[in-house]
Structure 1
Amino acid sequence: MYPTNIRNCIALHSRKVIVLLLMCLPFVAQAQKNMPNHDNKRLHFGISLGFNSSKFGITHSDAFTYHDSIKVVDSPRATGFNVGIISDLHLGPHAELRFIPSLIFAEKNLRYTLIDGEQDAQNKKTIESIILGFPVSFKYKSDRFFDNFRFYGLLGGRFDWDLGSNSKARKANDIVKIDRYDVSVEYGVGLEFYFPLFIFSPEIKFATGIPNLHVPTEGLQFSDVLGKLRSRGVFLTLQFEG
Structure 2
Amino acid sequence: MHTTNFRNQFYLFRKETVTPLLLLMMLLLQGRHSYAQVNIYKDEQVYQSRMFHFGISLAVNSSNYKITLDPNYLEQNEILEVHALSNPGFALGIISDLHLSKSFELRFIPDLAFADRSIQYALSTSDTIPIKTIESVYLEFPVHLKYRSRPYKDIRLYILSGFKYSIDMQSNATARLAENLVKVYRNDVAFEYGMGVEFHLPLVIISPEIKVSYGLLNVLKPDDNLNFSSVIEKLRARSIMFTLHFEG
Among 121, 138, 141, which residue is 1:112 paired with?
121
Equivalent residues of 1:115, 1:121 under 8 A apart: no
Aligned-pair distance for 1:86? 0.4
- Report if aligned partners of 1:204, 1:236 keep a CA contact under 8 Å in 2: yes
- The corresponding residue for 2:182 is 176
The alignment status of 1:136 with 2:140, answered yes or no, reads: no
Instruction: Compute the displacement of 1:168 (Å).
Output: 9.3
Q: Is 2:54 the partner of 1:48?
A: no
Aligned letter for 2:94? I
**Partner amino acid for 2:217?**
P
After superposing the two structures, state which structure 1 stretch, 59-68 or 87-96, moved more: 59-68
Matching of residue 216 in structure 1 with residue 222 in structure 2:
yes
**Deviation digits for residues 102-144 of structure 1 (CA, Å, limit 9, x no counterpart):** 1011111011111236xx4310001001100000000000111
SS of 2:203's equivalent in the other structure is: coil
1:218 Cα offset (Å): 2.6
Unpaired segments of 5 or more residues in structure 2? Answer: none
**Which position in structure 2 is the counterpart of 1:90?**
99
SS in 2 for 1:197: coil
* Structure 2 residue 71 is the aligned partner of structure 1 residue 62: yes
For residue 130 of structure 2, give the secondary structure of its aligned residue in structure 1: strand
Contact 1:50/1:236 (CA < 8 Å) preserved in 2?
yes
- 2:149 aligned with 1:145, yes or no? no
**Residue 29 of structure 1, CA deviation:** 3.9
Structure richer in strand, relative to its length: 1
Q: TM-score, normalised by structure 2?
A: 0.84
Q: Distance in 1 between matches of 2:104 and 2:91?
A: 25
Moved more, 163-172 or 224-233: 163-172
Q: CA RMSD in A?
A: 2.5
Q: Distance in 1 between matches of 2:176 and 2:92?
A: 23
AA at the equivalent of 1:151: L
**What letter matches 1:131 in structure 2?**
Y
Identity of aligned residues (%): 40
TM-score, length basis structure 1 = 0.86
Q: In structure 1, list runs of 5 or more residues that go unmatched.
A: none
The answer for the alignment partner of 1:31 in structure 2 is: 35
Structure 2 CA distance for aligned equivalents of residues 163 and 180 of structure 1: 7
In the alignment, the residues of structure 1 paired with residue 111 and residue 177 of structure 2 have an alpha-carbon distance, to the nearest angstrom, of 25
CA distance in 1, matches of 2:134, 2:99: 38
Counterparts of 2:91 and 2:179, CA distance in 1: 29
The answer to whether the 8 Å contact 2:94/2:111 transfers is yes
* Equivalent-residue separation in structure 2 for 1:145 and 1:83 (angstroms): 29
Quote how far apart the aligned CAs of 1:39 are: 2.8
Q: Could you say what secondary structure the match of 1:64 adopts?
A: helix
Structure 1: which amino acid aligns with 2:232? L
Residues in 1 aligned to 2:213 and 2:246: alpha-carbon distance in whole angstroms: 21
Residues 51-89 of structure 1, C-alpha deviations (whole Å, 9 max, x = no match): 111100000001211221111101110111100010000
Q: Determine the C-alpha separation between the residues in 2 that align with 1:162 and 1:72.
A: 27
8 A Cα contact 2:172 2:185, kept in partner: no
What amino acid maps onto 1:189 in structure 2? M
Aligned position for 1:237: 243
Number of aligned residues: 231
